[in-house]
Amino acid sequence: MSLYFADTSFLVAFLNPDDDYHDLAYAYMADSTSKFITTWWVLAELGNYLAKGGYRKLFAPLVRRLEKDSRWKIEPLTQEQFSRGTHLYERRPDKKWSVTDCISFMILKEKRIREALTADHHFEQAGFRALLKS
């Protein structure tokens, strides 16, 4: 069993058949032995992204699917996560990391996860392996 952190770009790739990483994202999702962790922060970012395009209607059904899927854990929203992410965001003015990225990095470190299902190079800058880019 593998545990993967799922970032916004992974979920976008899964939902969008025209995305360069769609087939790879679909293969990860189809693997019944894989487990996934993400955050409500990532899901909010996904919803914001999907609101801009023709994929808005896919958001709520995906969230409901992930909530029911035993392979998925969605980290709860906490003020502590937000504060820790904001602290990292503030400490790294040299990076273009979003607050959501910073929260994700903190959770990855806390859970001792080194690989993320993402195509976002910011994860590599923070010391993690971006599996969609490999």
pLDDT tens across 54-110, in order?
Answer: 789 999 999 999 999 999 999 998 999 999 999 999 999 999 999 999 999 999 999
Share of the chain above pLDDT 90, in %: 91
Question: Using the 8-state DSSP alphabet, how is residue 114 labeled?
Answer: -
pLDDT, residue 134, reads: 66
Q: State the burial class of residue 79 (Cβ atoms within 10 Å of its Cβ: 0-12, 13-18, 19+).
A: exposed
Tokens linked to 52: 């801009």
Q: Count the domains in the chain.
A: 1
Residue 7's domain comprises: 2-130
CATH of the domain at 42: 3.40.50.1010
Does the pTM of the predicted model rise above 0.75?
yes
